Amino acid sequence: MEFRLSDKSLLPALIALLLLGSCISLAVGAMTIGWRDVLAGLMQWSWPGMLDQEVPEQYALVLGEIRLPRLLLGLIVGGTLGVCGAVMQGMFRNPLAEPGIIGISSGAAVGAGIVLVFGGVLSIWLGAFYQELQWLLLPAFASTGAIFATWLVYILGDRGRSVVMMLLAGIAISALAGAALGMFAYVATDTALRDMTMWQLGSLSGATWTGVLVTGCIFAISAGLLWVRANDLNALLLGESEARHLGVDVIGLKRQIIVLNGIAVGAAVSVSGIIGFVGLVVPHIVRLLRGPDHRYLIPYSALLGGLLLTVADTIARSVFAPAEMPVGILTALLGAPFFLFLLWQQRQQIF
């Protein structure tokens, strides 16, 4: 017996939980801030001198420069991973498809690693343009790596028809990416090595307003273009032949998905590192609650993905405060058992 929720109940519930999780994320951390001080601190940071009441200056700085961009980045990255996971599972027609599992995040990591480790060489090549383009280099290289990895998985994985081939292709790409990242670590400076190690574990601690703006714009455009093709994705679930009979340009649709997913995942990985299993868990929960229709699956996966990553990040930086656990470790601890459960469910189809 399947359980379904209507839009009248699911959408308000997701929005309410998202607002509640956002408020908790702003208030909780190494420095706990009261509910009233959160609002007053944000207003003081946005419009200095507007409030009559005294608000500690450190509250305004912590909220406006650290926690608010971190919260927004968590919502954007979580939404990106949720949407990309949902669309990839639709394209591959496979519930195990997820950017982290099949090597797409690893491909993005290689692209970003080139910038992190060989930034000095790139600055020599680009000369005076390096400073102007520095904010764009990391997401551009990461997106290129993600697109290339997606294309390889699609080709090597028997075009998504075989679970085994898809997983094997993902394992091979992840292994190759791991070797490349190991080589980067071997030649990296101490500073670049520390940055690269923390970045590989997955963290939102490096959130900046520039990263929020760039990643947010890429997410909005990519998710919007994918949502426009929601009906075509629904047709693709019936099979490629059936989708062609319904007038869907299957080849064009898949090319668009590969490019948009690669750009979105690359941008997300470039600012947060590798955060796995969000794109696996979130679409499954949404399908259980609302069904497989991509018109609802894509936006609801964006909301639930943002909520899940925000809650995970709040827990990761609060449990061991003032120390901070990389959020990628926490999502792996939660998502890996879920992945094993899906593998158990799929064992007869795989073998």
What are the pLDDT digits (tens) for 211-252?
999 999 999 999 999 999 999 999 998 888 899 999 999 889
Asked whether residue 335 carries a pLDDT value surpassing 90, the answer given is: no
pLDDT at residue number 297: 95
- Range in 113-127, 302-316, 328-342 with the lowest mean pLDDT: 113-127
Rounded average pLDDT over 303-312: 95
Closest among 161, 201, 144, 168 to 326, alpha carbons compared = 201
Rounded average pLDDT over 294-323: 92
Q: Are 223 and 79 in contact, with CB atoms under 8 Å apart?
A: yes
Rounded average pLDDT over 92-101: 81
pLDDT at residue number 53: 61
Model confidence at 309, in pLDDT bands (50, 70, 90)?
A: very high
Model confidence at 44, in pLDDT bands (50, 70, 90)?
A: confident
Range among 21-30, 65-74, 171-180, 335-344 with highest mean pLDDT value: 65-74
What are the pLDDT digits (tens) for 138-196?
888 889 999 998 888 888 766 555 667 777 888 888 889 889 988 988 888 887 787 77
pLDDT at residue number 222: 95
pLDDT at residue number 52: 55
- Range in 119-128, 154-163, 199-208 with the lowest mean pLDDT: 154-163
Asked whether residue 351 carries a pLDDT value surpassing 50, the answer given is: no
Asked whether residue 348 carries a pLDDT value surpassing 80, the answer given is: no
pLDDT at residue number 4: 60
What are the pLDDT digits (tens) for 241-279?
899 999 999 889 988 998 999 899 999 998 998 898 899
Rounded average pLDDT over 96-107: 83
Mean pLDDT of the chain: 85
Q: Are 35 and 27 in contact, with CB atoms under 8 Å apart?
A: yes
pLDDT at residue number 346: 65
Q: What is the pTM assigned to this prediction? A: 0.89
Domains annotated for the chain, with CATH where assigned, are 6-64 (no CATH), 73-350 (1.10.3470.10)
State which amino acid sits at residue 165: M
Asked whether residue 72 carries a pLDDT value surpassing 50, the answer given is: yes
